[in-house]
Structure 1
Amino acid sequence: MIETILGSSGLTLFILWISKNWILTRLTKAVQHEYDTKLTLLKNNLQQNEKALNVLRNGALENSVYTQKLLYEHKLKATHDLWDNIISLAPLKSLSTHVFSLNYNEMMKLSEQEPEVQDFFKKIDMLKDRDIKEVLDITKAQKSRPFVSHTVWALFSAYHAILQHDFVRYELLKIGTPIDMKDSSVFKVVKVALPEHEKYIEQYGESGLYHLIQILEDKILTELKQFLQNTQENLENIERANEILNTANKLYEENNKLKNED
């Protein structure tokens, strides 16, 4: 009887142990399966999100490259237009450098007193056969202003201000009418553009302005070259970054394929 009871108890315990292990195994597998399913889903979501991020990143960078190229084209045209305007101002430059290398005050005294002197200046006028409005026109340069540096525009403004100032002075010579232009804003503009020549401007005033024309022109050319070089370098850096990113993305895709095969 006791043996029977002990045998039944042992069997029961054995069944319970087997059942416990079976349940634990089933639960573990169920949990493992659910975990694996969620982990796979999470990996897929991460891969999709990363792909989407790469698409956005690539799109943003490609858009940046396109924008920089477009901007570079505008800057290139602006540089061409501004320098073209400087070339068109050559008659005014010639007038200023040739006429005002002489003593302007003495010439004005003679013109004021003798009509023959006025006639002389009218005859030698370098612009008499030119359309003055066309010569003075700086529309091209004004349109280029948003696409050139502040330094370039400041130098060009000073350059044009001197030429325009000297043109007015020459027109006064032709009619023998002296006007005091010592307080003209042209001096302020030139001092800002060429601060290193401020003492020279204060010392020589109007009579020394024509000396600064070529200096300003050379500085404009130097600044334009540097301006274009910096713009080109920025564009090249963005294109290089885009190339590196594309290469990195290809490597990432290749690595993912190898992982999936494993």
Structure 2
Amino acid sequence: MNLIDWFPAVTTSCLFAGALWLGRNLISTRLTKSVQHEFDTKLERLKANVREGEEKLKAELRAKETDIAALRSGALTALTSRQTALDKRRLEAVDQLWSAVTSLGTARGIAESMSIVKFEAAAKLTEGDVKAREAFEMFGAGFDLKKLDLSGADAARPFLTPMVWAIYSAIHAITMHGVVRWSVLKFGLGAKNLVDDEKVAKLIKAVLPGHAEFIDKFGPSSYFNVLASLDSQLMIELDNMLAGKEVDKASIEQAVDIVNKSHSLLSKDRTDAQSRDISGGLDGIVRGSTSASDFFSKG
């Protein structure tokens, strides 16, 4: 068999192999493109879903930010309003307290007069001398305890710092100590331990520790002299309060101690009155939110 006889068979085989190769490439290309198209479609769908999720998340975050901003704004507005109202009330409280301090002016005048009186000798004298009692009554001419209104200070107390109230309580108690001594002379009660000087001394030392030696040296007649120092300390504490300075633990403890000593002096237990006139004269001391019957002995 010669080459010519093989030629048709070889040609047919080559053509068949070529067609097979082209068909396989065509199928492979189509499959690849089909898979690629499907992948691209799914990828685009996934990207679209991700973008949609991101937009939803952004929208939710914006909504939450709006809510948070509204809450924050509302809370800050409420806080600001409360603080403004509190600051206003504190200013009113300072005014009320200072009005109470000035209302004690006449009583302080009496206490000042009593600071130069030798109380024991005067008490002994007035006990049996009507004219002496009348003379001492002139010390407080026009002074009416029943008309002494200190209710403004009580109303202001919740808005005052503990130290401010403590100092005011000390001023009130020391002033009333002088008034009680005057009342003892006015009514001729005699020096029978009706005034507890030791309690007043403890109160002054609690408020003004630096004056302890002075108080020990000069005794009850010196009590009035510390009122000027208390006034100065009160002004300092009022300035601190209005400036918003934080009260430290030591100041609170000192204030509590002072107030406790003041209340001990100004308890509500009335002393046994020796007559209706004496009871009426001392009524102003023992009425109201604070009283002064503990200036009197219970024996």
Closer, same or farther: CA 12–29 of 1 in aligned 2, 3 Å = same
Once the two structures are superposed, the pairs formed by residues 98-137 of structure 1 within 5 Å of their partners are 98-122=113-137, 124-126=138-140, 128-135=141-148, 137=149
Once the two structures are superposed, the pairs formed by residues 9-20 of structure 1 within 5 Å of their partners are 9-20=24-35
Q: Deviations over 1:121-159 (max 9, x none)?
A: 12x132x42331122x32111111100111110000000
Q: Deviations over 1:23-75 (max 9, x none)?
A: 11111101110011101111111111112111111111111110000001111
Deviates more, 1:80-89 or 1:181-190: 181-190
Aligned: 1:95 with 2:110: yes
What amino acid does structure 1 have at the position aligned with 2:113? H
Give the CA deviation at 1:113. Answer: 4.6
Contact between 2:106 and 2:143, CA under 8 Å: does it hold in 1?
no
In structure 2, C-alpha distance between the alignment counterparts of 1:105 and 1:17, rounded to whole Å: 123
Q: Extract unaligned runs of 5+ from structure 2.
A: 1-15, 246-299
Once the two structures are superposed, the pairs formed by residues 46-85 of structure 1 within 5 Å of their partners are 46-85=61-100
Q: Deviations over 1:167-226 (max 9, x none)?
A: 111111123321323455333322222122122223322111010112112221222122
What amino acid does structure 1 have at the position aligned with 2:75? A
Closer, same or farther: CA 165–183 of 1 in aligned 2, 3 Å = closer
In structure 2, C-alpha distance between the alignment counterparts of 1:55 and 1:144, rounded to whole Å: 35
Give the CA deviation at 1:88. Answer: 0.8
In structure 1, C-alpha distance between the alignment counterparts of 2:122 and 2:176, rounded to whole Å: 19
Deviates more, 1:29-38 or 1:217-226: 217-226
Residue 101 (structure 2) aligns with: 86
In structure 1, C-alpha distance between the alignment counterparts of 2:218 and 2:143, rounded to whole Å: 31
Contact between 2:112 and 2:178, CA under 8 Å: does it hold in 1?
no
Residue 247 (structure 1) aligns with: none
The structure where helix makes up a greater share of residues is: 1
Aligned: 1:24 with 2:39: yes
TM-score normalised to structure 1 length: 0.81
RMSD between aligned residues: 1.7
Residue 202 (structure 2) aligns with: 188
Contact between 1:75 and 1:147, CA under 8 Å: does it hold in 2?
yes
Residue-pair matches, total: 228
**Structure with the greater alpha carbon radius of gyration:** 2
Residue 258 (structure 1) aligns with: none
Contact between 1:110 and 1:117, CA under 8 Å: does it hold in 2?
yes
In structure 1, C-alpha distance between the alignment counterparts of 2:157 and 2:24, rounded to whole Å: 101
Once the two structures are superposed, the pairs formed by residues 36-47 of structure 1 within 5 Å of their partners are 36-47=51-62
Once the two structures are superposed, the pairs formed by residues 201-212 of structure 1 within 5 Å of their partners are 201-212=215-226
- SS class of match (1:185): helix
Contact between 1:75 and 1:228, CA under 8 Å: does it hold in 2?
yes
Residue 185 (structure 2) aligns with: 173
Which of the pair has the greater relative contact order for Cα pairs under 8 Å at 6+ separation? Answer: 1
TM-score normalised to structure 2 length: 0.72
In structure 1, C-alpha distance between the alignment counterparts of 2:143 and 2:116, rounded to whole Å: 22
What amino acid does structure 1 have at the position aligned with 2:28? L
Contact between 1:78 and 1:147, CA under 8 Å: does it hold in 2?
yes
